[in-house]
């Protein structure tokens, strides 16, 4: 399991870092042990010091939109203006990276790491969605409302509508 560190630990991982852990839920030794390739590294952390990645406090699509856009601003991606073509091609390149992983024989659910950086088809698809979230935040699209409206409409369409093969 991977967790994000919420507080600075003495001689341990820095606040905000993501680490591999083994859950132990021991009242004396904490909730997690930090591990590397399954080996215990000597750090134990409590439930208030880390949060599992899948439990980060996002609740709505629009909260993801706001967070993704703010992160892009904070990381300097808006110091120069982008065109609509630039923004959409960045989305397309993430899809292309997922296709490249597939062509290289990677599994649909396979995630591996280059240092701390997650890689793989799921990660590239996540990057695609993050790029979409960022763009929607930048131009003010209410993506959650658009998704709800489109999915409601799609539910009314006939089976294989439009007569297309794919």
Length of the chain: 166
Q: Which of the pair, 57 or 157, is modelled with greater confidence?
A: 157
Confidence at residue 90, expressed as pLDDT on a 0 to 100 scale: 97
Residues 6+ apart with CB under 8 A from 56: 4
From the list 13, 1, 5, the residue with the least C-alpha distance to 48 is 5
Confidence of residue 37 (pLDDT cuts 50, 70, 90): low
- Asked if residue 109 has pLDDT above 90, the reply is yes
Residue with the bigger pLDDT between 96 and 18: it is 96
Residues 6+ apart with CB under 8 A from 104: none
The domain segmentation of the chain, as residue ranges, is: 2-54, 58-154
CATH classification for the domain delimited by 58-154, as one of 1.10.3470, 1.10.287, 3.30.70, 3.40.50: 1.10.287
Contacts of 116 (CB under 8 A, 6+ apart): 17, 18
Query: Picking from 81-95, 127-141, 151-165, which range would have the lowest pLDDT averaged per residue?
Result: 151-165
pTM: 0.66
Q: Please name the residue that has the structure tokens 């709505």.
A: 60
């Amino acid at each position: 399991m991977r967790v994000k560190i919420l507080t600075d630990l003495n001689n341990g991982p820095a606040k905000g870092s993501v680490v591999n852990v083994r859950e132990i839920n021991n009242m004396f030794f904490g909730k997690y042990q930090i591990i590397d390739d399954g080996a215990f590294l000597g750090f134990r952390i409590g439930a208030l010091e880390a949060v599992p990645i899948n439990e980060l406090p996002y609740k709505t699509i629009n909260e993801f939109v706001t967070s993704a856009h703010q992160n892009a601003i904070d990381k300097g991606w808006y110091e120069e203006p982008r065109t609509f073509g630039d923004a959409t091609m960045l989305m397309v390149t993430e899809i292309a990276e997922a296709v490249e992983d597939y062509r290289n024989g990677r599994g649909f659910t396979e995630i591996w790491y280059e240092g701390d950086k997650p890689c793989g088809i799921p990660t590239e698809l996540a990057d695609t969605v993050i790029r979409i979230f960022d763009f929607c935040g930048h131009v003010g699209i209410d993506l959650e409302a658009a998704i709800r409206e489109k999915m409601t409409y799609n539910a009314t369409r006939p089976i294989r509508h439009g007569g297309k093969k794919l």
